Amino acid sequence: MAHEFAHYEGAIGPEGTRRTVTYYGPVIGGLPIRAWHCEVCGLLRLDYPDGRKEERRLFPGPQPGLLAELSSVAPEQVDYGMQARVSGLTAQPQLMDQLVRDAGLVAVPFRLPQIVLPAWDAATWLIVTGLSGIACALLAIGILAVYTTSTPSVVPPLAVIAALSFVGMLLFGIGTAAVRHFFPAGPLAPSIAESARGRPELDAATKTVVFLLIMSVSGLFASAILAVYWFATPGAEWPVFLASLALAAAAAVVKLVDVAWRSLSR
């Protein structure tokens, strides 16, 4: 039995029996097989890739050299200087992947570090954000106090703002803890987005209202730019402004008609 380039996984079975599984190797006849061996009873089961199954009864006890470990190096070539014998068949992809990993030929792709934010509630995030801002203000105060011979005039107001902000964050934290202690709230029910797990479906009236509101906001933004980009208000200011208001009114009318129609249809 040749046994080069075989792969085994050992496990202790019932009553201390040792079972060894191999997924590839010229164990018998150069065929990639799956083998199972029990060192207590000596039973050897062979499963061939073409569906054939075979059982052999060997002597009880360990069988050194029956099934070799998976290795990227041929032991007969390294240890004994003999030519490595291979089956001539294509190995399974799992075997080739493991051989490449064992040989250290896998190039680890570059991955950007992932930032995992802690699962805090809104109150905790607000307190952490406020304390971070206070720390930045204190750092700015320390730099402004020493970078020149005289203290700048902005330092006292900044120090007062930092102190009042710290007191506000402290009172907010105490109030939040008191509310949670005396008025505990139950767990929130899952939202419809979590329970339904589907994309929102809008009807024709809602789509029309959304489109009209987008056009109205765009027109108001354009009219604001026209009102301030030059010393004199251009002539297009009023038409754009009135058109924007007309679009917003049309969206309101469409929504009211849709709600009235649904109410009467029921």
Q: 192-231, pLDDT tens digit by residue?
A: 667 776 666 788 899 999 999 999 999 999 999 988 888 8
The confidence score (pLDDT) of residue 67 equals: 66
Over residues 109-168, the pLDDT tens digits come to: 677 788 888 888 889 999 999 999 999 999 999 998 888 888 888 889 999 999 999 999
Give residue 9's pLDDT band: very low, low, confident or very high (50, 70, 90).
very low
Give the residue-averaged pLDDT of 235-242: 90
CB neighbourhood size of 114 (10 A): 5
Coarse DSSP helix, strand, coil percentages of the chain, rounded to the nearest 5 percent: 50, 10, 40
Q: How far is CA 220 from the centre of its chain?
A: 40
More confident residue, 96 or 232: 232
The confidence score (pLDDT) of residue 83 equals: 55
Q: Which residue has the tokens 């479906």?
A: 201
The confidence score (pLDDT) of residue 33 equals: 64
Burial of 1 (0-12, 13-18, 19+ CB in 10 A): exposed
Mean pLDDT of the chain: 77
The lowest-confidence range among 82-96, 142-156, 247-261 is 82-96
Domain ranges of the chain: 8-102, 122-182, 202-265
pTM: 0.36
Burial of 219 (0-12, 13-18, 19+ CB in 10 A): buried
Angle, helices 237-265 vs 204-228, to 10°: value is 160
Among 82, 75, 76, 92, smallest CA distance to 25 is for 92
SS3 20: strand
The confidence score (pLDDT) of residue 235 equals: 86
Over residues 69-88, the pLDDT tens digits come to: 555 566 666 677 665 554 44
The confidence score (pLDDT) of residue 121 equals: 87
Give residue 3's pLDDT band: very low, low, confident or very high (50, 70, 90).
very low
The confidence score (pLDDT) of residue 91 equals: 52
Q: 217, 209 in Cβ contact below 8 A?
A: no
26-28 and 18-22: which strand pairing? unpaired
DSSP codes joined into one string, 49-86: TTS-EEEEE--SS--TTSSPPP-SS-HHHHHH-PPPP-
